[in-house]
Structure formats: structure tokens, C-alpha cells
Chains A and B, each alone.
Chain A
Amino acid sequence: MSRGVHERVIMHVDMDAFFASVEQRIDPALRGRPVVVCGSGRRTVVAAASYEARPYGIRSGMPLFEAARKCPDLLVVQADIPKYVDASLRVLHVLEGFTPDVEVYSIDEAFLDVTGSLALFHGAERIARLIKEKVKQEVGLTCSVGIAPNKLLAKLASAMHKPDGLQVIRPEDVPSLLEDLPVEEQWGIGPRLGTYLREMGIRTCGQLAKIPVGILEKRFGIMGRMLYRMARGMDDAPVVPCGTGPDARSMGHSMTQDQDITGKEEIAWYVFLLAEMVGRRLRAGGYAGKTVVLTLRYTDFQTFSRRMTLKRYLATGPQIYETAMRILDGIRLKDAVRLVGVSLTNLVRGRTQIPLFEGERKGEELVLAMDRVNNRYGEFTLTWGPLLGGRKDRVVPPSWRPKDGDFKHTVP
């Protein structure tokens, strides 16, 4: 790939059907067959579909019942995140062998700035081939790689020949490539924005590029300038290597229930469980937050959030629970609930503040002692009494259970 003096060479590495491929790797009986990976509940959605499942129209985010209807022979595997995290870390290790500038975009995607490594490895395409070879050899999985002058175009390139693809977009190819590209296929333009643009008669990036920036800004505000740049394949965003990015802005967990829940008492149990999970994550990362957000979804999928900001920072399950319950108490439920979510925003890191009152101090000491036990013996080894009772099917999510006999795929 020839390049100008200031031109960057960015790579986007995208694992192919990642979760499903890991499961197919682990269990040879799944190979070559339509497989989906999904959550533990009965009303879960597809988290990943194997390439064999995709011709049936099965896609990520689709409710499992719909996927099963489209493909009666579908094999369903319950997601087991630690397996995927392990594979992801091994892929990251491979990538870091080629450049220190690796940005982990998600569990199965990464951006690399290989500008400084080109001479060492004799070109971008050779780096991409070596990455694909090493990922296959070390982790047993395939990935697709896109090479381009920026992240926006590299992401577009990696999606062009999946699975196991390698695509280069050269600067001189950009205008012709974008001319007929549907706007929704450009990274950052979602279905809602795509619909908006279509209503304006804009279907392709080529058409979007012809709209003066002033008109776009008038219509879309700050997003207008971004659209203007996207339509031309322009993107200056740097690759942000691991550990150098900004601190987390929020942390949360949500759960879709197997059955709709109606009573606030039952919702409260889930709020407590989620608050405890959020608290554990906050403390593990050294965070505390002062805005609690409670999210509920009714059976008709209407979803809403309510938030409450306190003067003090919170980092324990009971504190978060107490605030979330104050929010819940102020809500008049109109329908049964199918999803409950708890999150914290307004986060700070490394806050150390010794509580003034003895009761609070003892409470924090108790939580820290519980953390030490759970760090040693596994999540929920020691937990709060109210979380132990209740319905038999009200269980701790699989990824939080202590590991024992941990081979949990199910074939219906």
C-alpha cells in the first residue's frame, strides 16, 4: 500500500462470528452446523450466529424463539463469557506482536495503527496475512482484516469480505467506493439516522457527499459535520491503545426475566442482585459513582430510565440498591416488567474517603471483607441474606456463578 508522508495505515481486525466460532472450536459436533450463542433466559436474544445459521436469516439481536422458528435444526449454546474473554486476550496478544498501538474496540474487534511497523514487517498486507495466520494457529479462529488510511474506512473494509477476508482500501479508491455505498453501511450511521436520510432522498454516501455541510448542520446539528466527513471517508480519530483511554463513564448490568414480573417486591430482588453486581465491578476497578440509573422495560418493549444523583459517592451494593429503590418507589408501573437494569454514572476513580459515622464505616469494612472472601472463593460465595431466598428460578447469572462442572451448552 503506497502512502503519502502523513498518511496513516490503520487496520481493523474483526473476528468472524466470534462467540459461535469459539463454541464450534470447543465442540467439534457443532462444526458445519447452524449454531447460535445466546443468554441463559428463555426469552433471550441471539448474541452470535454461526455462518451456517445466517442463510436462514438469523442475526445477532434476534429473539431466540424467532431464530428457532426460522431454522428448526438450530443448535443453541448458552453464552459463557470467560471462554470468549480468554480467546479475545489471546488474539490481543497476537496483535500486540505487530504494534503497540492496538485499540480494543470490543471483545471481538480491534484497531491497529501499523504505520510505524510497515518497514519492520514489509508492508501492511503482509502484517494482515501474518495476523490471520497467527490467530488461526494460536487461537484456532479466523478473522477478517480491513486496511485503510483511517478507522472509519478500515472498519468498512473488514466487513467487505467476511469471513476470513482481507481487504485494502487505498486513498485513491475512496470516492468510487463510497459513491454507491448505502448510507447505513457506513460505520456510525444507524437504522434511525438512515431512515431520516432516506426521507431526505439520500440513499448513498455519494448522494450524502453532495449535500453542503451547512444544510447538514442545520438539519442534524453537530452530527451534520460528522455526516459530511463520513460521506467522504474522512476520520482523524486516533487508535487509542489499551490502558491509555479515558476512564469508564458508567457501569451497569441488566437482566431480561424469563417471566414478566409485576410486583415491586419482586423487582426489588432483581434490583438488589444487579446493584450488588455493579458494586463489585465498581470496587474492582477502584470506581465510585453518584448517579444511580434504574432502567425498566415493559412487556411491550417500552423502555425507560430514571436517575437520581446524590451528594456522596456510592460503591456498595446496598447503597446502590437503596437509591435505586427510592427511584422505583417514585414510579407507577403501568404494566408487567420484562427487563430490569441498574447502572451508575458520574464516576470517579481512586476515591478514598473514610466515612464519618461508625455505622457507615463498619458497613464499608464489611463489604471489603466480603470482597476478600469472594475474590478468593468466587462470586457470591458470601452474599447478602435477601439474595439467597426467593424463587428457585431466580438465580445468579451464569457468568457470576462459581465455576463447577462448567460445560453448559444445551441442544434443544
Chain B
Amino acid sequence: MHYTTSERITVGVVYGDQGRMRPEWFVWEGREYRVASINHIWHDTAGRETLIFFSVSDKIDTYLLCYHTIQLQWTLCGVDMEG
């Protein structure tokens, strides 16, 4: 099932190798989700703001997280749930 949203969320990030950012966990609707894998990262722009998208999975579902580089905010943009 695919679910599209645009909700502000809290994300725990580690700045790892070569200063690359890696989301480790996020909190959505009061529940904490651990990121098991990062599937893909890409950039886009909205006007002058660069958006960095992270497709991540916990062990079951896939989530699309977006980092807004000017607003310094994270949003959850989409969820792909099993079943």
C-alpha cells in the first residue's frame, strides 16, 4: 500500500564518512522507527532551496524522508507499506 504525506518529523542523523549525513532513526506519530537501510539518496530543488531525499527502509516498510536545506527541517513525504 502506498501512502503519500508531507509531515514534519524528528530525525536522528549521523554525519559519517566524508561528512555524509545518514538518517539513523525518525519519529513519526509518536513512534520511533530505526533505519535499517538507505536505498537511495537524491537532490532536487524547490526554488532556491535544495531538498535532499532519502529513501530508507526499516525491516518491513520503505519511507521517503526529505531534508530541507534552508529551513533545516525534515519531512516524511511517503510510505510504502507491505501488504
Inter-chain contacts of B23 with A (CB < 8 A): none
Q: A135 CB to closest chain B CB, in angstroms? A: 14
Q: Number of residues in B with C-beta < 8 Å to the partner? A: 25
B53 in the interface (beta carbon within 8 A):
yes
- Which 7 A-B pairs rank lowest in CB-CB distance, beginning with the nearest? A407-B78, A405-B6, A86-B42, A377-B47, A82-B44, A378-B47, A26-B55
9 contacts between A and B (CB under 8 A): A82-B43, A83-B42, A86-B42, A376-B48, A377-B47, A405-B4, A405-B75, A405-B77, A409-B2
Interchain CB contact under 8 A, A29 and B66: no
Say yes or no: B2 contacts A403, CB within 8 Å. Answer: no
Taken residue by residue from 27 to 53, chain B's Cβ proximity to chain A (1 for < 8 Å, 0 otherwise) reads as 000000000000110111111100101
Decide: A28 near B62, CB < 8 A? Known: A378-B46, A405-B6, A406-B53. Answer: yes
Contact of A86 with B6 at beta-carbon distance under 8 Å, contacts A26-B55, A27-B80, A405-B77 already known = no
Interface residues on A, range: 20 to 34
Kindly provide the distance from the CB of B79 to the nearest chain A CB, expressed in whole angstroms: 8
* CA distance in complex: A63, B19 (Å): 44
Q: Chain A residues near B80: list those with CB within 8 A.
A: 27, 29
Give chain A residues whose Cβ lies under 8 Å from the Cβ of B71. none
Least distance between A78 CB and chain B CB atoms (Å):
11
Q: How far is the CA of A378 from the CA of B53 in the complex (A)?
A: 17
Question: A82-B42, A82-B43, A405-B6 known; 10 other A-B pairs, CB under 8 Å?
Answer: A27-B55, A29-B62, A82-B45, A87-B42, A140-B40, A374-B47, A377-B47, A403-B51, A405-B75, A409-B2
Question: Is residue A346 within 8 Å, beta carbon to beta carbon, of the partner chain?
Answer: no
Interface residues of A in 1-43 (CB under 8 A from B): 22, 25-29
Query: Does A306 have its Cβ within 8 Å of any Cβ on chain B?
Result: no
What residue in chain B is nearest A86 (Cβ atoms)? B42
In the complex, per-residue mask of A387-412: 1 if CB is within 8 Å of any chain B CB, else 0:
00000000000000011111111110
Instruction: Select which of A86, A405, A411 is within 8 A of B44 by beta carbon.
Output: A86
Report if B10 contacts A (CB, 8 A): no
A-B contacts counted at CB < 8 A amount to 71
Shortest A398–chain B CB gap in Å is: 12
A375 to chain B minimum Cβ distance, whole angstroms, is 6
Is B64 within 8 A of A407, CB to CB? Answer: yes
**B interface secondary structure, majority:** strand
CA gap between A186 and B80 in the complex, in Å: 42
Chain A residues positioned under 8 Å from B42 (CB to CB): 82-83, 86-87
In the complex, the answer to whether A408 meets B4 with C-beta atoms within 8 Å is yes
Closest A residue to B55 by beta carbon equals A26
In chain A, positions 91-138 with a C-beta closer than 8 Å to chain B are none
Collect the chain A residues with CB atoms within 8 Å of residue B55's CB: 25-27
Q: Are B51 and A25 in contact (CB under 8 A)?
A: no
B46: A residues at CB distance < 8 A: 377-378, 402-404
Question: Is A309's beta carbon under 8 Å from chain B?
Answer: no
Q: How far is the CB of A31 from chain B (nearest CB, A)?
A: 9
A402 to B77, CA, bound (A): 14
Bound-state CA distance A90–B10 (Å) is 28
| Docked CA distance A378–B68 (Å) | 14
Among A25, A26, A403, A405, the residue within 8 A (CB) of B5 is A405
**Whole-angstrom CA separation of A381 from B49 in the bound complex:** 14
